[in-house]
């Protein structure tokens, strides 16, 4: 009779495995906690200090996932960088408001708890938090048999930051003749992967045997927190934009005030190798620019006089360059010329 009893484990959910994972997270996060007073992992909620050196603090919150890039991670069985992407997608949005990231929470839903896979993902999330100088204060892991197929999972993240009200970046700071700078991306970041995967499927490409694609498609999203916060502290930015889904035009459009326009010279853009490869596979310019960052991971709008000063805060690989200027026009963005994908 005992064997006929219904249990959670028989339904596909293993609470003991989940408990082991929580203990693992608690152990590795406690090692990085430093002087922080609160132990949040394993509790019902996360408690964090609000910095005391900010006169008029405002909270900024962002949430995002990494889309179908997780399918690339599954395909090549590499999960130690996808967590960096997860953190990047939220904290890169926070800094657009001028906010300093304070803490991060994650949500992982999976068919069946795989401790090896989950530990790799969490290590990536911790690395992303370390780069962003914020804390992983909690999260949720859900084992969901029947919702996800065998081996499938999804991840989402939630970041909270803080900014002094007087230092919030506003489109009202943008003026005619300001420069538009492109900060290089680290590849595709975490956008456009459904199109990439569709192309790979149609071309019958085995990325496990293609060293270039295997490396490029899992390359983690660049986190711009330290560079942008340094510029903000020196008042060197009028405004900025994180270039994600929708590409250069749609994301810059969001920060341009009425009656002004970002005139972008596409010929100035330096696409990285993955974009040159994509362009060779019959994707139109319009589709490329709408779907991908095309080598521009972040945009800065600055005063001309600050250009040389801004460059000092970036490594050579991510050094910004001029791609346009602010003019008067009823259109918020004008794209001039064409990208030279093969230069």
> How do the domains of the chain map onto residue ranges?
2-165, 171-336
Better-predicted residue by pLDDT, 87 or 51:
87
Judge whether residue 24 has pLDDT over 70.
no
Q: Which of 2-11, 157-166, 296-305 has the lowest mean pLDDT?
A: 2-11
Q: Answer yes or no: are the C-beta atoms of 164 and 56 closer than 8 Å.
A: yes
Confidence at 23, pLDDT banded by 50, 70, 90: low
For the segment 269-278, the average pLDDT, to the nearest whole number, is 95
> What share of the chain in percent tops pLDDT 70?
87
Whole-prediction pTM: 0.90
**Is residue 271 pLDDT above 50, yes or no?**
yes
- Which CATH superfamily, name and number, covers 2-165? PurM-like, N-terminal domain (3.30.1330.10)
pLDDT exceeds cutoff 90 at 285:
yes
The residues near 74 (Cβ < 8 Å, ≥ 6 apart) are 151, 152, 153
Q: How crowded is the C-beta side of 310, counted as CA atoms within 13 Å?
A: 26
pLDDT at 282 over 80: yes
38: pLDDT confidence band, cut at 50, 70 and 90? very low
Strand partners, 122: none
Check residue 51 and give its pLDDT. Answer: 82
Q: For the ranges 31-40, 86-95, 315-324, which has the lowest average pLDDT?
A: 31-40
Same CATH fold, 171-336 and 2-165? Answer: no
Is 183's pLDDT higher than 80? yes
Residue 248: closest CA among 187, 319, 296: 296
pLDDT at 34: 46
Judged against a pLDDT cut of 50, whether residue 304 lies above it is answered with yes
Helix (H) or strand (E) holding 265: strand 260-265
**pLDDT at site 31:** 58
Residue 47 has pLDDT above 80, yes or no: no
pLDDT the model gives residue 1 = 47
Q: Tell me if 24 sits within 8 A of 122, measured CB to CB.
A: yes
pLDDT, residue 18, reads 57
State mean pLDDT over 65-70: 96
Cα 22–27–30 angle (5° rounding)?
A: 115
CA 174 – CA 162 distance, rounded (Å): 22
- Residue 301's pLDDT is 98
CA–CA distances in Å: residue 91 to residues 77, 105, 166, 192: 26, 12, 20, 19
Q: What does the mean pLDDT of the chain come to?
A: 90
Q: Which fold has domain 171-336?
A: Phosphoribosyl-aminoimidazole Synthetase; Chain A, domain 2 (3.90.650)
Whether the per-residue pLDDT at 43 is higher than 90: the answer is: no
| CA-based end-to-end distance of the chain | 73
The pLDDT score that the predictor gives to residue 49 is: 77
Q: Is the pLDDT of residue 27 over 70?
A: no
């Amino acid at each position: 009779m005992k064997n006929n009893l219904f249990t959670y484990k028989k339904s596909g959910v293993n609470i003991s495995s989940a408990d082991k994972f929580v203990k693992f997270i608690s152990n590795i996060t406690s090692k990085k906690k430093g002087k922080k007073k609160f132990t949040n992992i394993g509790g019902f909620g996360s408690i964090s200090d609000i910095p005391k050196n900010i006169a008029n603090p405002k909270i900024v919150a962002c949430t995002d996932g990494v889309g179908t890039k997780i399918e690339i991670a599954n395909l090549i069985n590499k999960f130690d960088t996808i967590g960096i992407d997860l953190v990047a997608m939220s904290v890169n949005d926070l800094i657009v408001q001028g906010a300093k990231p304070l803490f991060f929470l994650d949500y992982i839903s999976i068919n069946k708890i795989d401790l090896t896979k989950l530990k790799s993902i969490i290590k990536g999330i911790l690395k992303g938090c370390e780069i962003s100088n914020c804390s992983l204060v909690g999260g949720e892991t859900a084992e969901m048999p029947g919702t996800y197929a065998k081996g499938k999972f999804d991840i989402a993240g939630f970041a909270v930051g803080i900014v002094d009200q007087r230092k919030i970046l506003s489109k009202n700071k943008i003026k005619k003749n300001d420069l538009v700078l492109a900060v290089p991306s680290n590849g595709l970041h975490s956008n456009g992967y459904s199109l990439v995967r569709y192309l790979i499927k149609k071309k019958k490409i085995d990325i496990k045997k293609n060293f270039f694609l295997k490396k490029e498609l899992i390359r983690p999203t660049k986190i711009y927190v330290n560079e942008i916060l340094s510029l903000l502290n020196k008042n060197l930015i009028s405004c900025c934009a994180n270039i994600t889904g929708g590409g250069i035009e749609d994301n810059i459009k969001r920060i341009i005030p009425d009656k002004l326009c970002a005139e972008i010279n596409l010929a100035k853009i330096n696409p990285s190798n993955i974009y040159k490869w994509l362009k060779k596979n019959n994707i139109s310019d319009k589709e490329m620019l709408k779907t991908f960052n095309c080598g521009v991971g972040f945009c800065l709008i600055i005063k001309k006089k600050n250009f040389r000063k801004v460059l000092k805060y970036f490594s050579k690989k991510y050094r910004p360059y001029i791609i346009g200027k602010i003019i008067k026009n009823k259109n918020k963005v004008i794209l001039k010329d064409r990208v030279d994908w093969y230069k």
